[in-house]
């Protein structure tokens, strides 16, 4: 199996997961494809590069951070393939710089003595929480298991390794009652996003219920996402990835049916705020701000 095929497989089976990791893997795929061009002649090198990179960017459908890399890198044809690699590095720098700015805005929302709930695993959210703790703030974290793949365990392991000493894990089903009753005085919810649209955002399945229940108690939900995750396509349920039933029940009884979406679409409820590289935004501001910062998002995806 060639390296790009292996990376594609690793993305699909979640060995490589998280929007940023998938985007960086997509950029790595471009480097591998360019190396392939040096070893073998192709009748249409540009088409070959786009096809190889697209395999990684679309290995999972709800990954606009990786897919927007195609818009940026292949917006115009280059005679020198090194220029494509230079654009890939520029895009990588954009991701890094945007996440750094976003993290600073998030730290300011954390208060000592606060209680914060998080769902799934977001490197951006974790890095922000760690930065807040390193600044001297002491606070409590409530983390969901995030079934069926238990990404919440990765979240708490990272935070424990970073020195956190007040973390509580709950099963996913407990989140709604904790938020509705709020007996432990949850101050806010921090979650990530895989996709931003003009009407809402996409995050791990279970996120919609958490956002809705938090809203009933006027608990703010902060979605941390750089605007490079904005997807200019009209959102439809077809963009929600369905996972293999074996993730829920391996060797399940014959004839049993499953509904196994990987993600929820969360409308921009009143209690939802987006922490972006430009600061705090409400939902209606996402599209105009994203297109203002990154005009290439208006470009069509290249067709390999």
Within a domain: 9: yes
Query: How many residues in total does the chain contain?
Result: 304
- Are residues 48 and 73 located together in one domain of the fold? yes
Question: Higher pLDDT residue, 59 or 80?
Answer: 59
- Are residues 157 and 209 located together in one domain of the fold? yes
Within a domain: 301: no
The count of structural domains within the chain is: 2
Cβ neighbors of 7 (< 8 A, separation 6 or more) are 16, 25, 28, 29, 32, 56
Q: What percent of the chain has pLDDT over 90?
A: 85
- Are residues 80 and 204 located together in one domain of the fold? no
CATH number at residue 85: 1.20.120
Average pLDDT of 263-292?
97
Q: What is the pTM of this model?
A: 0.93
- Are residues 163 and 82 located together in one domain of the fold? no
Rounded to whole angstroms, the Cα distance separating 206 from 120 reads: 9
- Are residues 65 and 193 located together in one domain of the fold? no
Within a domain: 139: yes
Rounded to whole angstroms, the Cα distance separating 271 from 210 reads: 11
Within a domain: 302: no
Average pLDDT of 119-125?
95
Final residue in a domain of this structure, among 65, 100, 135 = 100
Domain enclosing residue 84, as ranges: 3-100
Chain segment 227-248, per-residue pLDDT in tens:
999 999 889 988 999 999 999 9
User: Which helix or strand (DSSP H or E) is residue 29 part of?
Assistant: helix 19-39
Question: Higher pLDDT residue, 36 or 174?
Answer: 174
Q: What is the pLDDT of residue 185?
A: 97
Average pLDDT, the chain: 94
Final residue in a domain of this structure, among 85, 100, 115 = 100
Average pLDDT of 186-212?
97
- Are residues 19 and 91 located together in one domain of the fold? yes
């Amino acid at each position: 199996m060639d390296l790009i095929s292996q990376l594609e497989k690793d993305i699909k089976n979640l060995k490589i997961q998280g929007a940023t990791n998938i985007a960086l893997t997509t950029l790595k795929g471009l480097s591998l494809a360019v190396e392939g061009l040096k070893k073998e002649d192709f009748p249409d090198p540009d088409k070959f590069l786009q096809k190889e990179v697209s395999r990684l960017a679309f290995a999972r459908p709800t990954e606009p951070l990786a897919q927007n890399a195609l818009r940026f890198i292949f917006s115009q044809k280059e005679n020198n393939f090194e220029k494509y690699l230079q654009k890939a590095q520029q895009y990588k720098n954009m991701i890094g710089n945007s996440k750094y700015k976003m993290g600073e805005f998030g730290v300011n929302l954390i208060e000592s003595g606060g209680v914060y709930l998080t769902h799934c695993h977001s490197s951006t959210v974790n890095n922000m929480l760690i930065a807040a703790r390193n600044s001297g703030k002491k606070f409590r974290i409530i983390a969901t298991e995030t079934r069926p793949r238990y990404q919440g365990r990765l979240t708490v392991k990272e935070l424990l390794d970073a020195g956190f000493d007040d973390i509580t894990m709950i099963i996913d089903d407990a989140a709604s009652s904790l938020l509705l009753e709020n007996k432990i005085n949850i101050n806010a919810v921090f979650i990530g996003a895989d996709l931003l649209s003009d009407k809402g955002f996409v995050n791990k399945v279970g996120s919609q219920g958490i956002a809705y229940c938090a809203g009933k108690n006027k608990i703010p939900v902060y979605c941390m996402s750089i605007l490079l995750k904005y997807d200019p396509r009209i959102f439809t349920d077809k963009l929600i990835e369905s996972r293999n039933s074996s993730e829920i029940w391996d060797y399940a009884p014959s004839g049993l049916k499953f509904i196994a979406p990987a993600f929820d679409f969360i409308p921009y409820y009143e209690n939802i705020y987006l922490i972006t590289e430009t600061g705090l935004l409400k939902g209606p501001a996402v599209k105009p701000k994203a297109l203002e910062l990154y005009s290439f998002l208006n470009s069509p995806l290249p067709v390999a």
